[in-house]
Amino acid sequence: RSQVISFPSYSEYLAAQPMQRLLVLLCCIWQCQAVDLRGSADRQGPRQLSKAEAGELLEAAVEIFQKPANKRKLLDAVSMSNKEEDPMKKMMLMMTDVMPLAQSMMHAPMSKYGFSDDDALPVLSQIQALAAGDEKMGSEIAMLQGALQVSVL
């Protein structure tokens, strides 16, 4: 059985709340897969993170993305994507250029906690939920969002 993946339109993206836009951005960056493309109904999602584990993964992301060499690679890839004027093509470039790069950078921390690269979206969703009301985690999410700002206009 086939499943269709639907991405938000540009106007839907702009209408989204800032945290939803952050989630879309981070999903693109971390090459998240929201749908099991094989249509497997029996596949279980990843285990539940503790708040401490979520904080540690978030700290790892900040540390990894702030390393000068990694930051330069990510910013170069984002810059190349931003040169595209068409918003949909720009998002496609983010998915094909930036996502694999960021995914490779986050592979070790994700593996450390027993997650595969395909678990990125559910893990990210858990981190976002666990960060609600936590000032430190919220500031780390905001820092990542600012550091990897993508201009979609």
Across the chain, what does the average pLDDT equal?
76
Hey, how many other C-beta atoms are within 10 angstroms of the C-beta on 95? 17
DSSP, res 120: H
- Among candidates 59, 57, 40, which has minimal Cα distance to 48? 57
- Rounded CA separation 145/147 (Å): 6
Q: What percent of the chain shows pLDDT beyond 70?
A: 67
Q: What percent of the chain shows pLDDT beyond 90?
A: 29
pLDDT value of residue 19: 52
Indicate the pLDDT class of residue 4, thresholds 50, 70 and 90. very low
Mean of the pLDDT values across residues 13-33?
Answer: 53
Indicate the pLDDT class of residue 24, thresholds 50, 70 and 90. low
pLDDT value of residue 135: 94
- Rounded CA separation 66/68 (Å): 6
pLDDT value of residue 22: 58
pLDDT digits (tens, 9 = 90+) for 97-147: 887 787 789 899 999 999 988 787 788 889 989 999 999 999 998 887 776
| Residues whose CB falls within 8 Å of the CB of residue 21, separated by 6 or more in sequence, listed in order | 13
- Among candidates 8, 6, 3, which has minimal Cα distance to 38? 3
**Is residue 101 within 8 Å of residue 74, measured between CB atoms?**
yes
Taking the complete model, does pTM exceed 0.95, yes or no? no
